[in-house]
A and B are shown apart, each in its own frame.
Chain A
């Protein structure tokens, strides 16, 4: 699962693990560049690139104009011409100006040139509700990208995964959207190897083993699912918690195996129900595990309304209570 694990470990938050991964690759690979709004002198609005411009210079860690299409479009040119841009979009909710570039170019240049050109790049974006950020900052729109063949989508839920997956993303020959849950940025620390290691893109993990029902969650929702699993355990329900970690391509086997074992699934995500990645997971389970299902697959999601201004965001988000209720309904179906 993880390669080159050095036993030297340091406690890190998720955002520190991100910085660490960037530092590892900036040191190792002279073609890597960090580009984005406020990533240089300021070290990023979440300090994800803190100290990197000092260490690697303005030429490698570049403050760009406020221009998402410009950042991503220019990175296409850089990538096709030998560089590895690691782009920060300040918040996922502001990626839309770059959507055309990502959809029509980033994801298609390999296909369009039958592999003669490719655009290995990483687009990092903080996302998700729960930190009382202003409007538009808090959306979970991963499904706008998982439906885009040519792109990979990764979303770590822990510091350890964040570092290993980000390094893997930077080394990936194809473009990767790397989603960082703002709510998870500093929610906990974990021992993380100080050296380089990678976690394979496309590999999910079992966060907690269980037998009655499979909970599938990513990003900040893993913690919510774990909390619900604990509460369910008190009621005698054994939950397996699965974090796919990569949202495209999904770890079909891990998911199918778990659901076939438990016969039940509850999917938890912040995005709306309609069009959320949960629907893909329902379809995946339908396709792979129909005969094993003892109950319909349940989804606990953000509601089908825009993510509200922050006074109501806690009401919008899945809570352990909502997940628990869904677990109970599924188990007692």
Chain B
């Protein structure tokens, strides 16, 4: 089970903030989320959306271990 976190507008779009989802890889997790919610699937692939696995930014696919934390981070804006 991976823990999936959504931030900012992604959370509002999906209607949830955090879920445990069974998935062996980041690519598989993306497909699963897109199947379940097409709008969310498109948004996760949208411009400027970054992904962190276990609090480190990653690009492309990677395997997910049990207890991995996957965070989808839309464009950031502080200050």
Do A and B come from the same complex? no
B-to-A contact residues, CB < 8 Å: none
A-to-B contact residues, CB < 8 Å: none
